[in-house]
Amino acid sequence: MSEDPRLPFDPIERAGELWVERIGSPTAMRLATSIMRVQQLIISELDAAVKPFGITFARYEVLVLLSFSSTGRLPLSKIGARLMVHPTSVTNAMDRLESQGLVRRVADTSDRRRTFAELTPAGKEVLVEATAAVTTIDFAVGGLTSDQQDEAFALLRTLRASAGDFKD
């Protein structure tokens, strides 16, 4: 018989109580800690959803981004910028996706310094199947109603904008 892995209390709420006693207002700490924990939970569920297709959610994002391109290809540097990840992360994801036959690198004939990435037919198939899997679990945010998801997005967008994540 497996033991329930859930704690019998909310550790962030408890940390907030201790924070009040020892430091002061727990409001910002509780929110930041909750955001980080929710991110862990969501990534875990999304990774589990796409695992049967041999990819991680991070690699799924690359496939989606390539599928959104009007030309069917994107420079590797643009992938990193759009996904807001370090170039090393793009290289690692591309290496894995290419070794699986899901993307291919294509040299830019007009600029030898630039390399494009494009989906292969196998990549397009995996993308369709993985998209069905993540939409079936409502991108792991099904604990909120559609209206709550919109509200949460608006609040987090404001936080991202104030942190300089994008020009608004």
pLDDT in tens, the chain (168 residues): 678 888 899 999 999 999 999 999 999 999 999 999 999 999 999 999 999 999 999 999 999 999 999 988 999 889 988 998 888 999 999 999 999 999 999 998 888 888 999 999 999 999 999 999 999 999 999 999 999 999 999 999 999 999 998 887
Q: What is the number of H-type helices and E-type strands within the chain?
A: 7, 3
Question: Which element (helix H / strand E) includes 153?
Answer: helix 146-162
Side chain identity at residue 22, one-letter code: R
Name the fold adopted by 47-139. Arc Repressor Mutant, subunit A (1.10.10)
Question: Which element (helix H / strand E) includes 110?
Answer: none
How many of the other CB atoms lie within 10 Å of CB of 46? 22
Query: What is the pTM (predicted TM-score) of this model?
Result: 0.89
C-alpha 68/C-alpha 81 separation (Å) is 15
